[in-house]
């Protein structure tokens, strides 16, 4: 024990008592109340102020507000009259980041996920386990000045390690489908400044066998389940993402994509790298997604616009394009959607094999044309389709598959 500490006097004002409690107590009443509780009170030069010293057994008394609470408690809260507010309560604006986290949590739970909450403190070993090259911790994690244990020595820079640890623990009890997510802050060091603390969503999908339909038939999760889930989640947030090639060190090369919103990378989705899975002793594929909610938040706030249900029928055309293997689906979609009357672009087949030249692949699309003002004719649809094909040929060297 540090030993007995002499209490310091606290200045108490009768005006402050009235301000906080809304009722006026006389100086004599306040003095009598505090004295009966063992407090030593001494008037100052001002008649409305006096110094109070708390007894040694009341180590919880430190501030003026603590003394005012003692007065109210002893006199009796029932003695304080009820009055109507002098003005209406001010409007309480919600916190956008909290609303976003709550909505995302509800959506993912509706998808069958379970939320976990883990400590913000972790070990350096855990931070290195989620990387294929442990020495690549950049920026360096923030170390706690006086850690309680070596397992809680650093502030976490991501949520993956905790999620994978929870997955391993759950796998010991269940070998079926496991879907977990966490919403929380991570801590990124910055030179000569306080660390940034972005809000992050991280989730994973793992299954040995998942029944995808009521007739039965178990299939494990795959990469497109994770990507489709992210697209569905963002659609419910009124966000339209695009996807680009990613190079996340903790994910398998060629089985990952970056999530892009309005030209900004806000996250990544992909299959866990085999080396990371081995470090955690995880068997089978695990699909992981991560979204920076702080970066995503501005794109979820804004006015919503509505348009009437279309009155005129659609014209549907199927085309099969032969393109180089390096051409991505997103490149094709970006070009096609730039043309008027194109309502929807759907990729329904990808083929590589003997029927296409080496170094090429076939992408089959269903194009939906629609006009908001009139019924489209075949000539109009043919004209737009030919313009699309000409542009694809010029920019991507695409040709119609015979």
Per-residue model confidence as pLDDT tens digits over 260-296: 998 899 999 999 999 999 999 998 899 999 999 999 9
The predicted pLDDT at position 25 comes to 87
The predicted pLDDT at position 1 comes to 44
Judge whether residue 159 has pLDDT over 90: yes
Q: Quick: pLDDT tens for 331-347.
A: 999 999 999 899 999 99
Tell me the mean pLDDT in the region 211-226. 71
Q: Which two structure tokens, joined as six digits, stand for 181?
A: 């997510």
* Residues ≥6 apart with Cβ < 8 Å to 330: 242, 243, 244
The predicted pLDDT at position 217 comes to 58
Q: Which residue has the higher pLDDT, 150 or 137?
A: 150
Taken in order of first residue, the domains within the chain and their CATH numbers are 10-79 (3.30.56.10), 96-300 (3.30.930.10), 315-400 (3.30.70.380)
* Residues ≥6 apart with Cβ < 8 Å to 244: 257, 258, 260, 265, 330
Q: Is 7 left (phi over 0), alpha (psi -120 to 50) or beta?
A: beta
Judge whether residue 211 has pLDDT over 70: no
Name which of 140-144, 209-213, 355-359, 388-392 the model is least confident about.
209-213
pLDDT bracket for residue 212 (50, 70, 90): low
The predicted pLDDT at position 45 comes to 83
| Long-range contacts of residues 215-220, Cβ cutoff 8 Å, at least 24 apart | 220/284, 220/285
pLDDT bracket for residue 139 (50, 70, 90): confident
Q: Which two structure tokens, joined as six digits, stand for 248?
A: 């996340």
The predicted pLDDT at position 371 comes to 92
> DSSP letters of 46-74?
STTEEEEE--TT-TT--SHHHHHHHHHHH
The CA-to-CA distance between both ends of the chain, in Å, stands at 88
Q: How far is CA 208 from the centre of its chain?
A: 27
Whole-number percent of the chain with pLDDT over 90: 57
The predicted pLDDT at position 220 comes to 80
Tell me the mean pLDDT in the region 200-207. 93
Q: Quick: pLDDT tens for 44-97.
A: 888 788 899 999 888 889 999 999 999 999 988 888 888 887 788 888 888 899
Strands (E) located in 236-359: 242-245, 251-261, 264-272, 286-292, 315-324, 342-351
Q: Helix-strand-coil percent breakdown of the chain, rounded to 5?
A: 30, 25, 40
Tell me the mean pLDDT in the region 177-200. 91
d(CA 249, CA 238): 30
Grouping H, G, I as helix, E, B as strand and the rest as coil, residue 215 is coil
Tell me the mean pLDDT in the region 92-109. 92
d(CA 291, CA 299): 13
């Amino acid at each position: 024990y540090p030993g007995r500490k002499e209490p310091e006097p606290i200045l108490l004002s009768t005006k402050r008592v009235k301000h906080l409690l809304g009722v006026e107590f006389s100086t004599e009443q306040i003095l009598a109340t505090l004295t009966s509780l063992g407090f030593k009170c001494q008037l100052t030069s001002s008649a409305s102020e006096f110094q109070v010293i708390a007894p040694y057994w009341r180590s919880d008394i430190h501030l003026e507000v603590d003394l005012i609470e003692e007065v109210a408690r002893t006199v009796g809260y029932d003695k304080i009259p009820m009055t109507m507010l002098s003005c209406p309560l001010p409007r309480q604006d919600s916190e956008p980041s909290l609303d976003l986290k709550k909505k995302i949590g509800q959506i993912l739970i509706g998808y069958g996920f379970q939320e976990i909450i883990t400590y913000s403190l972790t070990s350096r070993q855990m931070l290195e386990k989620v990387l294929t090259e442990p020495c690549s911790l950049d920026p360096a994690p923030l170390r706690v000045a006086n850690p309680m244990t070596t397992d809680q020595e650093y502030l976490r820079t991501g949520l993956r390690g905790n999620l994978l640890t929870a997955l391993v623990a759950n796998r010991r009890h269940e070998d079926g489908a496991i879907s977990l997510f966490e919403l929380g802050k991570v801590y990124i060091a910055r030179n000569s400044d306080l660390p940034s603390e972005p809000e992050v969503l991280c989730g994973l999908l793992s299954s040995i066998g998942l029944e995808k339909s009521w007739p039965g038939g178990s299939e494990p999760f795959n990469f497109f389940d994770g990507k489709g889930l992210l697209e569905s989640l963002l659609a419910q947030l009124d966000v339209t993402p695009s996807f680009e090639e990613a190079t996340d060190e903790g994910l398998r090369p060629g089985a990952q994509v970056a999530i892009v919103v309005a030209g900004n990378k806000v996250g990544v989705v992909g299959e866990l790298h085999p080396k990371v899975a081995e470090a955690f002793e995880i068997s089978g594929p695990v699909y992981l997604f991560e979204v920076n909610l702080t970066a995503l938040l501005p794109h979820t706030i804004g006015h919503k616009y509505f348009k009437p249900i279309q009155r005129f029928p659609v014209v549907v055309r199927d085309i099969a394009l032969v393109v180089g293997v390096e051409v991505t689906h997103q490149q094709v979609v970006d070009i096609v959607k730039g043309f008027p009357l194109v309502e929807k672009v759907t990729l329904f087949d990808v083929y590589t094999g003997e029927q296409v030249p080496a170094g090429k692949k076939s992408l089959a699309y269903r194009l939906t044309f629609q006009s908001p003002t009139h019924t489209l004719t075949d000539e109009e649809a043919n004209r737009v389709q030919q313009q699309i094909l000409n542009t694809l040929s010029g920019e991507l060297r695409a040709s119609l598959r015979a």
